Structure 1
Amino acid sequence: MQHIQQSVQRLGMSLSNSLPSVLSSLNYAPTILDAREALIKNGLTKGNNRHVNAYKKLLPDTLPPEVFDWCVGLLLSDATLQKNISAKNPAARIKIQQSMAHRELIEVTQELLKPWIFSIGDKSQTMLEIATIQHKAFLPLIDVFHDYQTPIKASACVYKKPQPSIKDHLTPICVAAWYMGDGNLAGRACNFHTEGFLKEGTELLAQLLTEIYGWETRVIDAGYSDYLGHSMHMLQVRSYSSDEVAKVLTPFMLDSFKYKIPLPRIRKKRAPLCG
C-alpha cells in the first residue's frame, strides 16, 4: 500500500483516507447553502430564471479536488456531460442515473455536489436521476474527456474520449466512483465496463491504472458488437491484483456496493515434506 501512496503523491494527486473523511471535510459557505435552501423552499429552482442566475454567481468557480475526481469517476461510468456553448456564459453540467437499489450513490453524489444540485428526481419506477445546474465549475471536465476534434453542438452531450490528462484524476475516490457506477466482479477479477469508449481509450485507462497502482490490467473482448459490427471492449484488473484493489477502493466504497469488493486471496499452505 505504501508504494501506491507514494505513486499517487508523486503524480501530485490529492490523497484522502476515505469517503467519510472527504464528506466531513466539505466546507461550502453557509451563505451558499442558505441561498440554496431558500430557492428550494420557494419553488424557484426550475429553469434558468433570474433567481437561479443570481444564485450561480455565489458559487465557487471550481470544484474541490476530491469532488472533481468523483465526477471524473462518474463520467467514466454512466454519467453524461453536457455543455452549453454560449459565447457569453459557457457552462456545463453532469447528469447521473442509477437504479433504486443504488440510491446511496445518488445521495452521496448530491451531498458532494450540494451547491450545484437542487433535488433527486425519479426517472421511472426503477431509476433515479440527478442533474447539476449548468455552471462553469464543470467546464474543466470537458478537457479530461474531449479532444476537441469533434465539435460540440450547442447544449449537446460531450462525446467522451478519455484524454492523457485523466492521469491526474485517477485517485482512489475517482476509481471507486467509477467501479461502483459501472464495474463488477468476475470471479476475483474486477471488470470496468468501458464499452462506451474506443478501444484506444480503454487501453489508455488500463495503462494508467497499472502505472499508478501497479495493478495487472488487460483489455478484453466484451463479447458483443455495436450497431456497426465493431467489437466492444472492457478493462479488467486481473485477480492477481485483487487484494491491492480491495485495499485501495474499500475506504471509498458505499455499503450497498461492497459486494463488488474482491474477497482476500486464500494462500494455500504447502504440505510438509515427508521424511
Structure 2
Amino acid sequence: FNPHLIINKTVSNIICSLVFGHRFEYEDEWFIELIKRFDSALQIEYCTFGKCARWPHQTVQQFWSEVKDMIRSEIKEHKKDWNPAEPRDYIDCYLTEIQMVSDNAESTFDEENLVICVMDLFAAGSETTSTTLRWAFLYMAKYPEIQEKVQAEIDRVIGQSRQPSMMDRANLPYTDAVIHEIQRIGNIVPLSLPHSTNRDIQLGDYTVPKGVVIIPNLTSVLFDKREWETPYTFNPGHFLNEEGKFVKRAAFIPFSAGEEQQINKIKMCSIP
C-alpha cells in the first residue's frame, strides 16, 4: 500500500492542532482537500526542471490560491467566537496581535500575512516531516537488519508500556544515527530554498554583491566523499563513534545552515 496520504494526514494534524486548535478526522473532506492541494502545489514546485515544463505556471498559482481561501475560511470561523483573553491556538494569538498593533501604520501584522504564515507552517512543518518519514519507511524495509537493531534498542530503552519522549533520545544513539542517516541520504531539499544577500559579503576568495540570489547546493555537502566514508550507501555508522555513541557531523546540513537550520531542527523533532 502507499503510505503517502496517511502519513501526510498524521503529520498535518499536529500542525492543525497548533494552528487551528483542533485535529481533523482522517476522512474529513475539508482536511483531505487541504492536504491534497498542499501536496500537489509542492510536488510541482519541487519537481525537476525537465518535468516542470509539463505543468503550467497557472496551475501552481491556482493550488496556492485555493489553499489561501481554505485558510481564510478557518480564520473567519475563528473570529466568530474569538476571545483575546483566552487564546486557543496560533490563529487566536495572531488575531490578538493584529488588534494590539492596529494603530501602528508600520506593523506587518494583518490577516493576509496571517494566511501566509499559516501556509508556511504547513509547508515547512508538514511536508518535510512526512517526506522524511516516507524515506524512513523505505530504508527500514530495504535494510531489515538495521530495522531490527533500531527496534531492539527502542524495546530495551523504552519498552512497550509507554510512549517515547525527547528525554529518551540520549539513550537511543543507534536510532538517532539511523534518523540522521535517513535525512542525509534522503536529501529531500537538495537545493534548499533560494536566498538573497541583503549586503555585500565575502565568502572565501569570492565577493558576493548585495541583491544576488543564492541557491545552496546541499547535495554537494551531504554526499561529499571527503566528509562521509560511504556517501552513496545507507550507513548509520556515519553518525557513530568507535564506542557506538552518537556524533553530530558538521557536514550534516539537510536544511541548510545557520538560524534556518535551527528552526527546521525544531520542526523535525517529532520524528524520533
TM-score by length of 2: 0.26
More strand by share: 1
Structure whose residues are more often helix by fraction: 2
TM-score, normalised to structure 1, is 0.25
Q: Which has the larger radius of gyration?
A: 2
Higher relative contact order (CA 8 A, sep 6+): 1
